Chain A
C-alpha cells in the first residue's frame, strides 16, 4: 500500500509523458487491485494501517495512511478510472507534459484522500486535488472554460473551507491533541456542538459531490473540462466529496447526522429528480451527462443519509459504479464523438448517422446508459437497489422519489441514445455524408476496461460487498449505524 505514496508527487513529464502517465496509473491501479485482493481485516479491526509517522508533532499531526474496506473500494475505482482516463487523453498534443503533470497530481491527491486516516492529511490531499482541476480545465478545456474552471474551483474551495471549520472544531473541542481519526472518534462531542458542526462539515464535503442546490458547478465544470478531466471529475473527484462526508462528519458527529439527515436526504432526493429532469431537456450532449451525474450522485448521498447498513453498502457501491459509468459516458461524448464531430448539439448530431459510422461507440453508449439506469447485470442495478431498499427503511417517500428518478433516468438516456445514434437510420437510403476518423485502439481499450469492470461488479457484487461490509462494523461507523437503527 505504501507504494501508492510514490505516486503522490509526479515529476514533470518529458515528451514521453503519455506513456509515463499510463505506466504510472497502470502500476498504481495494479497496486490498488493487489491491495484489494490481499485485504484482510487484522484482529477483527477492518482498518489496516499502512504508515504512521509523526509529521508535525506540535499540532498532533501525523502522516497516517491506512485503509478500510471503503477506502479499498475507492482506491480500486481510482486506479481503474485513472487508467481509462489516461487512455482517453491520448489525443492531448498541446503541452502534453504539463497536462499529465497536473493530471497525475490530481490522481495523487485523490488516492491520498482515500487512504488518509489523519484528518489534517486528508484535508491536505483534498486541497491538492482542487488546484490541478483549474488548470486542466482552463488550459485544455472547451466551452466557457475559464468560467467553468473558476466556478468549479471556487465552489470546491468554499466547500473545503467549510469542511476545514468542522475539522478544526473537532480538533479543538476534543482537546487539541491529535488529528488522528481513531483518536478523535473517542471524544464524546456534545449534541450542541454536533448540531452545528455536522451540517457545516457535511455540506462542505458534499458540495463536491454535487448535492442539490450546490451542484451548479458540476455541469458547467464537466462540460468545460477536457475528456480525461471530466472522466476524472465525475468518476472520482465527486466521490471525494461523498467519501469525505462519510469519513469525517458522519463518523465524528453521528448525533448531528441523526438530527439533520431527514432534511439533507430530502435535498439528495430532490437532486436525483431535478438532475434527471434537467437532463431530459438539455440539447448539449455533455450537459445531459453532466446533469445525470448530479442525479446519480444524489443516489449516493441518499444512501449515505439512510444511515443503515444496506444504504451505506449501496452508497459505496454506487460510488464505484457511477465512477466507472460516468467515466464511460463522458468518454463517449467527449472523445469518441465531440473530438470527431466538433459539435455536441444533439440536433446536429442527429443528422450525422453516428450509429452507422461508429457502431462500436453506439454499442458502448448503449451499454453505459443501460447500465447507469440500472439494467440488472451491471453495477448500477445492484447499487441503486441497495440504496432504494436502504432508504425505504428510513424514509419511504424519498425512496419513491428516487424510484421516479430512475424512471426519468431511463427517459433521458433513451432520448439521447436514440436521437444521437439512430434517428437518421430510418432513412437508410441516404449515403453517409461525411466520413469521420475511426476509433483508436486506446479508446477501445479504455472503453472495454470500464465495461468489463461494471459487468463484473454487476454480476458478482459480493466481490466488493465482502470488502465493504466488514468495515461498516468497525468502531468508526458503529455509532452512526446505531443512530440509524434507533429510528
Chain B
C-alpha cells in the first residue's frame, strides 16, 4: 500500500472523505433547491427533480469512490479508507441509488420533499462513515447520524397516526440501544484505556476477560443487534417495514444492514479478537462468539417461525430479514478475510433482492393492494412480468440456485465452517441454519403459490407499472441472476480487497 496517505492537513482529510462530502453537499443543494422551487411555483412537481439531483450526487460519490479514491488513514486513526471499505461503500451507494430510484417511481406525494431527500442522503453519509470508522466515538456518531435520519424518515407521513406511532417506537427502542452501546463503549474505554480498535486490541490482548469488559461487550453487542435487527432486538423491524415510506424501508432493509454488519465484524475482530472464545461443539469457552452464536440462533428461529404466521407481506419480509441477519451472523464468526467478505457479499446480494421486492410491493400498493397475500392473488394473470420477477426474487431469498441467494448463503456457511479455529466447529449452527432455511421455504413458497396457483378471477384488471418501477425491478432481477451465474469476479475481488 504505497499510495497510503497519513493525513496531516485538512486537504488530505477532504480527499479521503470525498464521497461523504459530495453527499453532504448534495443534501444541502437539494434542501436549497426545494425552497427555490416552492417559492417560484406552487406546483409540487419538483419532487422528481430533487430525486434526480440526489441520484446524481450519489452516483458522483460512487464515481469518485471507484475512480479517484486515495487510500489512507486519517491522523489519529479515526477514519480509514482501504480497498475493502471502498468496495463495501460502493455497495452501499448502489443500494442507495436503487432506493432513490424507488422513490422516483412513487406516485404518492409527500410534503417537505427537500427534507426527505436531505435526510435520506445524511443517512447514507452516516453509513459510509460507519464503514470507515476505526474509533469508537466515530462509530457512535456515524450510527446516530444514520439512526436519527431514519427515525425522522420513518415518521415522514405525519398525517397518518400509525406512521408517527411507528417512528416513535423505532426512536424509543433505538435510543435505548444507543444508550446501551454508549455505555458499553465507555466500559470498554474504562478497561482498555483506548478508543481506537487497534489500540484496544493491543491493550487487552494479554488480559483475561474480566467482567467489566464482558459487560461492555454485551452492551455493545446489544446496541449493534438493534442496528442489524437481530433477535431479540428486532421488535422495531416489522412495524417500520410496514409503515415507513417504501424507499425508506428499502434503505433500512438493505444499505443500513450492509454497513451495520461490516462495522460489527470490524468491531469484534478488530478490537477483541483475543476474547472471541469458542463455540466449537466439543470445546466451548467464554467470549463473544457464544453470544454471537446465541444471537444467530435466536434470529434464525424467531425470524423464520414468526414469518410463518404473517399475512402482511411487508411484515413477513421484516421477519424474514431477521432470519437473514441470523444467517449473516454466522459469517461474522469467521475472521478476515473470509468472514467480512462473505457477510458483505451476502448482505449486498440480499439487499439487491429486497429492494426489488419493495419495488414490487410499491407497484402492488399503487394498484390498490393492501399489502397482504390477497393482493397477490391471480398476479400471474394480471402481470406475467411481475409474477416472474417475484418468483426469481423470492427464490433468491429462499436460497435456491441458480439465483445468487443460494451462492451467497453457501459462501457464508463455508466461511463459518472454515473460519473458526477448528474446521467444522460451527457445524451445529450451520445445521440449524439449513433447517431454518427449510422452514423459510414454506412461507416463500406460500407467497409464490398465491401468485401462481390461484385461478383467474373475473374483473381482474391489469396492473399499472411505470417506467421507473419497471427498470428498477428488472435491474434487480437481472442482477440476482447474473450474480448467481457469474459470481466469480466480484466474490474474489471482494475477498481480495478485504484481505489486504
Contacts and interface: CB of A to CB of B under 8 A. Distances in A.
Given A153-B445, A165-B427, A165-B430, 9 more contacts: A56-B487, A57-B488, A127-B406, A134-B445, A135-B448, A150-B442, A162-B434, A168-B417, A173-B423
Interface pairs A-B: 10 shortest CB-CB: A161-B434, A124-B401, A58-B492, A56-B488, A138-B453, A172-B417, A172-B423, A127-B401, A157-B438, A158-B438
Given A127-B401, A169-B424, A161 B488 contact: no
B435 A176 contact: no
A165 B400 CA distance: 16
Given A127-B400, A172-B414, A172-B418, A58 B488 contact: yes
Contacts of B232: none
A10 to B, nearest CB: 13
Contacts of A168: 410, 413-414, 417, 430
A59 B414 contact: yes
Interface residues of A, number: 33
B452 interface: yes
A128 interface: yes
Give chain A's interface secondary structure class.
Answer: helix
Contact of B442 (A56, A135, A154, A171): A154
Interface in A155-188: 157-158, 161-162, 164-165, 168-169, 171-173, 176
Interface string A128-144: 10110011001100000
A135 B452 contact: yes
A208 to B, nearest CB: 14
A301 B68 CA distance: 61
Contacts of A130: 400
Nearest to A138: B453
A315 B423 CA distance: 35
Nearest to A176: B418
A138 B402 CA distance: 22
B400 A131 contact: yes
Nearest to B436: A161
B439 to A, nearest CB: 9
Interface string B265-283: 0000000000000000000
A395 interface: no
Interface string B480-500: 000000011001100100000
Q: How large is the interface on B (under 10, 10 to 19, 20 to 34, 35 or more residues)?
A: 20 to 34
A199 to B, nearest CB: 14
A55 interface: yes
B437 interface: yes
A176 B334 CA distance: 15
A23 B410 CA distance: 36
A124 B401 CA distance: 6
B484 to A, nearest CB: 9
B478 interface: no
30 contacts: A55-B488, A56-B407, A56-B487, A57-B488, A57-B492, A58-B491, A58-B495, A59-B491, A124-B401, A124-B402, A124-B406, A127-B401, A127-B406, A128-B401, A131-B395, A131-B400, A134-B445, A134-B448, A138-B449, A150-B442, A150-B445, A153-B445, A157-B441, A165-B430, A165-B434, A168-B413, A169-B417, A172-B414, A176-B414, A176-B423
B424 A164 contact: no
Interface string B442-474: 100100110011000000000000000000000
A146 interface: yes
Contacts of B400: 127-128, 130-131
